[in-house]
Structure 1
Amino acid sequence: MTGVTLTNAVKKYGDVQVIHDIDLDIEDGEFCVFVGPSGCGKSTLLRMIAGLEETTSGKIEIGARDVTRLDPSERGVAMVFQTYALYPHMTVEENMGFGLKMTGHPRAEIKRKVDEAARILQLGDYLDRKPKALSGGQRQRVAIGRAIVRGPEVFLFDEPLSNLDAELRVDMRVEIARLHKEIGATMIYVTHDQVEAMTLADKIVVLRAGRVEQVGSPMDLYNDPGNKFVAGFIGSPAMNFIDGTVEGGRVRMPSLDTAIDANVTLPPDGAKLFVGLRPQHLTLRQSQGPVILDIRERLGGVSYDYLTVPGGEKIIVESRSDEAIPEGTPVKVEFDPANALFFDAGTERRLR
């Protein structure tokens, strides 16, 4: 197995640049997830690594080889797509071994590799079935098995769980994590779902508008985001952002009718900033004021309270208490200032 290195990778369609000077190192055996909103360039970047999109400038290396101008078949990668792309007239066994059959591999070798992939993916009982007799999750496992049989240096996944229902997505997420643990291959995975990114990745690459916003482990990005975009994208429910103003060396938050000390270097008085607070770091108590508990979602062990705030900010509070404040009640939002993150209102960069 081997790693992947991108150096000043650029992609243009005519005069429109969609990938901007990406520098990235993905280590041997690492599970790297590209995450970001729709249109951020994550699938385009994956396709550049696969060779399905031409790299306008820069360099892509897989191991010690410069593969920037090589055909996809010469790069040592296998790709699993959002659609299963299985041959409907072939059995599971035939679908998984078709690539090796087309390249002239001996029948015994194909059989051995298909059986091993079927063992890893628990498909041994389905080898004689046609795709129409399989569930969505089973079909996706066949598509992954087809990639395993090829024995690639790098596995590429392009939103492979998007077509599955919620329960199957969870099951397949566990299957993919188990697969990575068993075979130890380098894997690059594209998703817009940050929950998938947090649960699968060794390394997350957060993309926006074709640029890398931040790279790090899931918990590094969660606990130490570099800017407001990353802070709001990583975490579910998303981080709350409340408008603040620097006054007398403190941060005044008019919407919550409070002022707090900040353990960061603040800009001069009058400067505008955003105060970031995770939903689980907030608590509520009944109190007369303009903040109203609008809606409560009860999910069993946890509840989410949605607040109406005069300043227009959207605030979500996570609660694990059985004590329920009635909807429509005025509340006071309380929190430990040590849990607050601060972001410059202009650049949206984190203040430290």
Structure 2
Amino acid sequence: MSGVTLEHTIKRYGATQVIHGVDLTVEDGEFCVFVGPSGCGKSTLLRMIAGLEETTDGQIHIGARDVTHMDPAERGIAMVFQTYALYPHMTVRENMGFGLKMNNVPKDEIIRKVNEASKILKLDDYLDRKPKALSGGQRQRVAIGRSIVRGPEVFLFDEPLSNLDAELRVDMRVEIARLHKELGTTMIYVTHDQVEAMTLADKIVVLRAGHIEQVGNPMELYQDPDNKFVAGFIGSPAMNFVTGIAEAGGVRVPALSDSVIPTTVTLPSTGSSVTVGIRPQDMELTAAPSPIVLDIRERLGGVAYDYLATATGERLVVESRGDMAMQAGTQVTVAFDEARAMFFDTETEARLR
């Protein structure tokens, strides 16, 4: 097993730079997730580690080896793609062992490795089936099994669950988490789904426009984001952002009926704009005369998401639990845990501390 180190890694396509001097260390045995919106560079960065994209500048190390300019086959990695890429005319057993066969691995060793991977992934009952006889989740497990038999130093996953339906995605998340626990191999996983990132990762790397915005474990990023982008991206539903006005000792929030949130953070000058972040889970509604109106309620069984319209035109989402009978159009007041509110510079979006 090996860790992965990126040192001032840069990727350009002609005059266009898409990865901007990324420095990152993924420890040996760590499960690291690259997350960010479409076009942020996460798949490009993964493909650079794999050797499928040429690194324009900087260095990539896997363990003690500088692999920056090595061929993919020499890097000791195995990659699982969004598409399963299985051979339709081969059985599961043949698909999983094909790479070893092409490398002239002895037949007995191929059988042993395929059987070991099959046991780990619970594929024993499907080894003699062809891909067309498998579900989407089973096909993805075969693709993962094909990687396992190679015994790589590092597993790379490029949005492997995006083609699956919601229920299968949950099942496969559990399978991949269990696989990491069992193998203990370094894994780097790309997704745009922050729920996958939160549930799978030891370390999350949040990317935007080819830059790393923040690196940390899931709860560090959730509880202590460095900027508005990270705060809004990590957490579901997303954090609410409303405009506030700095005052002595606090921030006045016109959208919340001019309530003042006391704070000890360093604020800009009195009267300056401040962005206030409040998570939907930290808010609570009460029916009462107010300029805030419950616009839409989404009921999801034990939880409901309430979408509010304010007099300032800003929108809020509140996560409610229990069986409130409040209907759309009801005027409401909003209470929240003031100690959990976050404050951001309106221009730079940096967290005020």
Superposition TM-score, scaled by structure 1 size: 0.99
Counterpart residue identity of residue 294, structure 1: D
The one-letter code sitting in structure 2 at the alignment partner of 1:307 is L
For 1:65 and 1:115, locate their aligned partners in 2 and report how far apart those are by CA, in whole Å. Answer: 31
2:284 is matched with 283
Report which stretch shifted further, 334-343 or 87-96: 334-343
In the alignment, which residue of structure 1 is the partner of 2:293?
292
Structure 2: distance between partners of 1:165 and 1:186: 27
Per the alignment, residue 16 of structure 1 pairs with: 16
Partner of residue 100, structure 1: 100
Find the counterpart in structure 1 of residue 110 from structure 2.
Answer: 110
Aligned to 1:288, what secondary structure does the other structure show? strand
SS of 2:291's equivalent in the other structure is coil
Pairing 1:81–2:81 present? yes
CA distance in 2, matches of 1:336, 1:80: 43
RMSD: 0.7
Contact 2:9–2:20 (CA under 8 A) maintained in structure 1: yes
- Asked if the contact 2:250/2:264 (under 8 Å) is kept, the reply is no
Distance apart, 1:321 and its partner CA: 2.4
Q: Which runs of 4+ in 1 moved over 3 A?
A: none
Contact residue 249 and residue 269 of structure 1 kept, 8 A: no
Match of 1:234? 234
Partner AA of 1:176 in structure 2: I
Alignment length, in residue pairs? 352
Matches within 5 A, 1:110-189: 110-189=110-189
Shift of 1:266: 1.3
Q: Which residue of 1 aligns with 2:207?
A: 207
2:264 maps to which residue?
263
User: Secondary structure at 1:266's aligned position in 2?
Assistant: coil
Per-residue Cα deviation, 1:228-263 (whole angstroms, up to 9, x for no partner): 000000000000011101123321111111112113
Question: What secondary structure does 2:290 align onto?
Answer: coil
Deviation track 1:49-68 (CA, whole Å, cap 9, x = no partner) reads: 00000000000000000000
Contact 1:231 1:239 in 2 (8 A): yes
**Cα distance between partner residues in 2 of 1:324 and 1:252:** 31
Distance 2:267 2:213 in 1: 23
Q: Structure 1: which 5+ runs fail to align?
A: none
User: 1:225 aligns to what?
Assistant: 225
Question: Deviation at 1:210?
Answer: 0.3
Q: State the percentage of identical aligned residues.
A: 74
AA partner of residue 250 (structure 1): G
8 Å Cα contact 1:263/1:338 also seen in 2: no
Deviations 1:118-139 (A, max 9, x none): 0000000100000000000000
Whole-Å Cα distance in 1 between the matches of residues 236 and 104 of structure 2? 48
Counterpart residue identity of residue 348, structure 2: T
1:318 aligns with 2:300: no
Equivalent residue of 1:323, what SS?
coil
In the alignment, is the contact (CA less than 8 A) between 1:239 and 1:279 conserved in 2? Answer: yes
**Deviation of 1:271 (Å):** 1.4
* Cα distance between partner residues in 1 of 2:322 and 2:308: 17
Q: Partner residue of 1:338?
A: 339
Tell me, what secondary structure is at the counterpart of 2:167? helix
**Partner amino acid for 1:18?**
V
Tell me the distance in 2 between the aligned counterparts of 1:115 and 1:332: 61
Q: Which residues of structure 2 form unaligned runs of 5+? A: none
Further displaced range: 266-275 or 58-67: 266-275
CA distance in 1, matches of 2:90, 2:316: 52
For 1:303, give the aligned amino acid. A
Query: 2:120 & 2:10 partners in 1: Cα distance?
Result: 37
CA deviation after TM superposition for structure 1 residue 265, in Å: 1.4
Q: Aligned letter for 1:139?
A: R
What pairs up with 1:13-92 in 2 under 5 angstroms? Answer: 13-92=13-92
Write the deviation string for residues 131-179 of structure 1: whole angstroms up to 9, x where unpaired. Answer: 0000000000000000000110000000000000000000000000000
Contact 2:244 2:253 in 1 (8 A): yes
Partners in 2 of 1:200 and 1:10 — Cα distance?
Answer: 27
